[in-house]
């Protein structure tokens, strides 16, 4: 097992959370967290599948694929998120079945949390009473669940769901392949960054052979941009700043209103700053209606932005992370530039603002 795979199993109902006795793998600690999760799925009847708020491609695709696995197993699965599914993922098979809610309740045998470093990341209320199964691949992933499977080498959580589906002996339908391919495509930024390994391409090949259509999926994800997103990018680009190896840009709430932008239109804007030659760290700041600042951090190479985000209460991956900060924007920018400069200095002493 990879040293980057972490598992922990809480077998008993000692805590306040109350795993249903018939699904909890009491007294049995298997070698693989995947086996323990499969056991929970086999024993239960009804599951809630959730992911983080403002769902991205990995969140949506892995939820849908998990729902399809449970369907093949003859189980009932409710798919719930706090925020609506972005337009570019609405064409995914089954996307119309994902419900939005503020609170969850129901006779669930377990809640499957995908891509979350804690129940709060879902922004759904009412999680505390359930048996929680945590499947994640973030550098900042935590063993918060009763059953935890965190593999930091996986390109996406969808890749982990895929392994689970294969281990369950379920069929990789074209619909499942499409959802999983979308998780891999989007979490690697179109096979550009993140934890890409030779196996990532092997997985993409398998999924393509199983019926995922890379051209159609790319068309939905990368060539269905609403005009509002480009207008918002234009506003952000007028605020683009560069200092040595760092670049950053921002939009105010007024920019959002003026361009008729939706929250999902902010996705990827940070990459304009990261794309600049010589830039190793990039930040995109968005002013929220209530005055807080939503920050997206990106880096190339060894600059660890997950560590910066985690110090400030957020999280993510080494090269892609996020957090919500106090406003105003000027203060958030000052804070983050100081963090990024010391991050650069730590890996390249003396070069922190070199051009």
Q: Is 111 helix (H, G, I), strand (E, B) or coil?
A: strand
Residue numbers 103-122 binding ligand AMP by CB under 6 A: 117, 121
C-beta atoms surrounding 100 within 10 Å: 12
CB within 8 Å of 171: residues ≥ 6 apart: 72
Q: How far is the CB of 261 from ligand AMP (least distance, A)?
A: 15
Q: What are the structure tokens assigned to 228, written together?
A: 């509002």
Distance CA 272, CA 51 (A): 27
Single residue of 314, 333, 343, 344 touching ligand AMP by CB under 6 A:
314
58-97 mask for Mn ion (x: CB under 5 A)? x---------------------------------------
Q: How far is the CB of 47 from Mn ion (least distance, A)?
A: 20
Query: What is the crossing angle of helices 157-167 and 33-43, to 10°?
Result: 70
Task: Identify which of residues 109 and 287 has a Cβ nearer to ligand AMP in the complex.
Answer: 287
Q: Is 187 in the site for Mn ion (CB under 5 A)?
A: yes
Q: How far is the CB of 138 from Mn ion (least distance, A)?
A: 7
Task: Identify which of residues 172 and 329 has a Cβ nearer to ligand AMP in the complex.
Answer: 329
Distance CA 76, CA 95 (A): 16
Q: Is 316 in the site for ligand AMP (CB under 6 A)?
A: yes
Stretch that binds Mn ion, among 65-73, 109-117, 272-280, 306-314 (CB under 5 A): 109-117
| Beta bridge pairs of residue 316 | 321
Q: Is 147 in the site for ligand AMP (CB under 6 A)?
A: no
Q: Is 244 helix (H, G, I), strand (E, B) or coil?
A: coil
Task: Identify which of residues 19 and 316 has a Cβ nearer to ligand AMP in the complex.
Answer: 316
Distance CA 45, CA 3 (A): 33
CB within 8 Å of 14: residues ≥ 6 apart: none
Q: Is 94 in the site for ligand AMP (CB under 6 A)?
A: no
Residues near ligand AMP, by CB under 6 A? 52, 117, 121, 138, 140, 296, 314-317, 320-323
């Amino acid at each position: 097992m990879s040293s980057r795979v972490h598992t922990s199993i809480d077998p008993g109902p000692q805590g306040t959370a109350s795993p249903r006795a018939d699904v909890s793998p009491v007294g049995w600690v298997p070698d693989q967290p995947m086996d323990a999760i499969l056991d929970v799925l086999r024993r239960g009847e009804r599951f809630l599948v959730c992911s983080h708020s403002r769902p991205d491609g990995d969140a949506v695709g892995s939820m849908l694929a998990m729902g399809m696995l449970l369907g093949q197993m003859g189980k009932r699965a409710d798919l719930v998120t706090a925020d609506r599914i972005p337009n570019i993922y609405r064409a995914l098979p089954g996307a119309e079945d994902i419900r939005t809610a503020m609170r969850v309740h129901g006779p669930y045998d377990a809640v499957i949390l995908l891509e979350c470093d804690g129940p709060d990341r879902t922004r759904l209320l009412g999680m505390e009473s359930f048996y929680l199964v945590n499947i994640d691949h973030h550098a900042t992933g935590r063993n918060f669940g009763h059953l935890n499977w965190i593999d930091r080498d996986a390109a996406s959580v969808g890749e982990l769901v895929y392994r689970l589906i294969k281990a369950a002996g379920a069929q990789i339908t074209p619909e499942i392949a499409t959802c999983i391919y979308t998780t891999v495509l989007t979490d690697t930024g179109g096979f550009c960054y993140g934890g890409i390994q030779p196996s990532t391409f092997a997985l993409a090949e398998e999924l393509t052979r199983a019926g995922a259509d890379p051209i159609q999926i790319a068309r939905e994800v990368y060539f269905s941009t609403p005009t509002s997103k480009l207008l918002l990018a234009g506003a952000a680009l007028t605020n683009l700043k560069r200092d040595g190896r760092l670049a950053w840009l921002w939009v105010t709430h007024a920019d959002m209103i003026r361009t008729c932008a939706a929250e999902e239109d902010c996705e990827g804007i940070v990459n304009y700053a990261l794309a600049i030659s010589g830039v190793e760290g990039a930040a995109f700041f968005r002013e929220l209606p209530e005055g807080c600042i939503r920050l997206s951090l990106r880096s190339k190479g060894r600059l660890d932005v997950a560590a910066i985000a985690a110090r400030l209460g957020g999280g993510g991956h080494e090269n892609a992370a996020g957090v919500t900060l106090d406003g105003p924007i000027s203060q958030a920018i000052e804070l983050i530039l100081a963090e990024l400069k010391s991050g650069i200095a730590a890996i390249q002493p003396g070069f922190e603002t070199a051009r």
